[in-house]
Structure formats: C-alpha cells, structure tokens
Amino acid sequence: MRISFTFGADLRETQGKGASRRLRHSGKVPAILYGAHQDAQALVLDQQNLLTMIADERFYSSIVRLNIGERTEDAIIKDVQMHPARNLVVHVDLQRVVENERIRIRLPIHFRGESVSPGVKSQGGVVSHMRADVEVSCLPKDLPEFLELDLSGMSLNDTKFLADIPLPPGVAIPELTRRNAPVVSIHAPRAEEPEPVAAEAAAAVPAEGAAPLAAGAPGAPGAAPAAAPGAPAAAGEAKKGEEKKDAAAPKKEAAAGKKEGGKK
C-alpha cells in the first residue's frame, strides 16, 4: 500500500460535547476511527499538525498511517469538519483499511490540454467543469492519487462524461452503474447584456433620418416651458396696463388745477 502521511494519535478516554470542547481549547481535535469489522475507537489528534496536512490535496485521497501508542493503524480520511468562521478542524472521521477489502474514496480529477483544445484555441469556447472529483472503489494497493482527463481533442459543444475518464487497473466508479454524469464541456461564451446607462444614452439619440425638433417646439433644446392653463396674464401685458395708468395721471392733475382756478 502507498502510505502518504504518518502522524500520531492518542486514545480519547472522555467523550461528549463538553470534553470535545475542552480538547479544542487545548489545541487538540477529537476524531473517530471505525471499520474493518472492529469497534469504533475515539482518538485525539494535534490541531497544528492537521492544519498542515489538510492543505495538501493528497491528504484526502491517500492512505494515512496512525501511530497509536505502540501500534499502528492504516486508514483513509472519510470526513474533515471545519469551523464555520475560523481556520480550525472541529472533527475527523477515519476508516480502517484492510489489504484484501475494497475501499471507497473520492479522488480529484485533473484536467489537462484545455488551452490547446480546438474548442478553446481556435473556436473561442469556454471550459465548464461540472465535477472536480469522483468516488472510486478499489483495493488499497490499487489506489491512485488522482484521475486524469485529457481535453486536448475537444471541440465547441463537446462534453465528456464519467465513462470517458481513464481508470487504472482494479479501479471502478460505482456511480456508473446508475448514470453516466457529465464531467466537463466546452461551450460558447454568453453574450453580455448592455449596461443600463449605455442603453439609456442610446435611446436618447434620435434615429437616423428622423427630422430634428424645430426651435421653440416643446421638447426642443432651449424651448421655453409652456404656460399652465389658467395662469396670470403675460408680464408684457401687465406692464402696458401700468404705462396707461402713468399717462392718465398728469391729465387728471391738470384738470383739477383748472377747476380750482375757476373758483377764484
């Protein structure tokens, strides 16, 4: 078997939420080891050691060796629970590995040849990944680190499925017994919608061949706003009325003077 990681573990005597919380506060991680027709065993792992290993993609697709006191256990990682807001491991599930029993584990899919494929290089297509990993079944000795899918021969609107992934001897994809799901495709890029500001500006420009608005017409540049119905008389008419009153005033004064002179 290919062993990629080896780390120590201690037996966990106390269990429960309170005990697990105290472990995490002390820099430890609660874990559980099960499988191989044996009883489940509660373990304690080191937080900093785990944070270093989970950053490696191979950690999730390899067989790890646990040093528990004076004995060793080979296992695979089944689940790693992370804190929702902090970079901390909350819990780890491990499954024992037996040489003559098949295991089921998720392997990453590595894609190659994307940039040189006709669909991308000459036809302007965009690669869309529907799957990043897939669950496989195999004996521990046949477990690969990853699966590889070549896209160099794909054209526009081509799709590759689970059945198109080359598998090493002894490795199977259980999902293929139910369906042959798509894994990757090359499609034309989607046209971008015009921005709202650009669309409004285009609508404001008069259509070609349309007659320009006459000067002074409603809506034309520089046109005065139309008077509202029932508005007062124009300013010019009011001014004329004032001038008539001013012209009549001297005549009234002269007539009044003559009247007074006649009385004397």
Q: Work out the angle at residue 81's Cα, subtended by the Cα atoms of residues 78 and 82, and round it to the nearest 5 degrees.
A: 145
Q: Please say if the pLDDT value at position 164 is more than 60.
A: yes
* pLDDT given for residue 16 in this prediction: 73
Model pLDDT for residues 48-75, shown as the tens digit of each residue: 999 999 999 999 999 999 999 889 999 9
Question: 202: pLDDT confidence band, cut at 50, 70 and 90?
Answer: low
Q: How far apart are CA 190 and CA 192, in angstroms?
A: 6
Q: Among 159, 71, 56, which Cα is nearest to 108's?
A: 56
Question: 43: pLDDT confidence band, cut at 50, 70 and 90?
Answer: very high
Question: 35: pLDDT confidence band, cut at 50, 70 and 90?
Answer: very high
Considering 169-173, 186-190, 242-246, the range whose residues carry the highest mean pLDDT is 169-173
Residue ranges of the domains in the chain?
3-98, 105-187
* H or E element at residue 256: helix 235-263
CATH of 105-187 given 2.30.29.30, 2.170.120.20, 3.30.930.10, 3.40.50.300 = 2.170.120.20
Q: How far apart are CA 159 and CA 162, in angstroms?
A: 10
Q: What DSSP string runs through 1-29? A: --EEEEEEEEE----SHHHHHHHHHTTEE
pTM of the model: 0.67
* pLDDT given for residue 233 in this prediction: 47
Q: Is 105-187 the same fold as 3-98? A: no
Report percent pLDDT > 90 for the chain. Answer: 62
* pLDDT given for residue 262 in this prediction: 47
Alpha-carbon torsion angle 216, 221, 226, 232, nearest 10: -90
CATH of 3-98 given 3.40.50.2300, 2.40.240.10, 2.40.30.10, 3.90.1300.10 = 2.40.240.10
- Mean confidence (pLDDT) of the chain: 82
